[in-house]
Amino acid sequence: MKTCPICNGTIEQQSKEVKYTYKEHDVTVVENTPTCIRCGESFLSPKELKTNQLQLTNFKRTVDKLLTTNELKRIRKKLELTQKDASEIFGGGIRAFYKYETGENTQSKSLDILLRLIDSHKISLNDIKSI
């Protein structure tokens, strides 16, 4: 067991429900955090922070009617593109799709629409490549 650097209490893994509001929409996220049972201070690792941030990013994308990280990844894989290939075809820089799929950045509305059109077979990837 680890001890709290603030009060020397015991730190245990706890699940907490945290409510977030975005554009008048609410979501309750379960965050798993190491927490001191004496003083209540939480200590998030970079991995836990990333997991919590990803949940919030996907919530915001849903509210904004954008593809979530998993939907982006599904479409890219369906097109048999690497993240690098997708970035080269659709723009945004060499690591753009990596950042979209990990929630570091959010794709533009225009890219989102384009991917939805390709996914629904209204236009093809070859149409995009030929332009």
Listed by start position, the domains of the chain span 2-63, 69-130
Q: What is the pLDDT of residue 31?
A: 83
**3 DSSP β-pair partners:** 10
Third-level CATH fold of 69-130: 434 Repressor (Amino-terminal Domain) (1.10.260)
- How high is the mean pLDDT of the chain? 93
Q: Please say if the pLDDT value at position 116 is more than 90.
A: yes
Q: What is the mean pLDDT of residues 43-66?
A: 90
CATH number of 2-63: 3.10.20.860
Q: What is the mean pLDDT of residues 6-33?
A: 90
In DSSP notation, 22-52 reads ETTEEEEEEEEEEEETTT--B---HHHHHHH
Q: Please say if the pLDDT value at position 1 is more than 70.
A: no
Are 105 and 96 within 8 A, CB to CB?
yes
Alpha-carbon Rg for the chain, nearest whole angstrom, is: 19
Q: What is the mean pLDDT of residues 97-108?
A: 95
Closest CA to 61 of 105, 16, 110, 97: 105
pLDDT-based confidence at 73, cuts 50/70/90? Answer: very high
Is pTM beyond 0.85? Reply is no
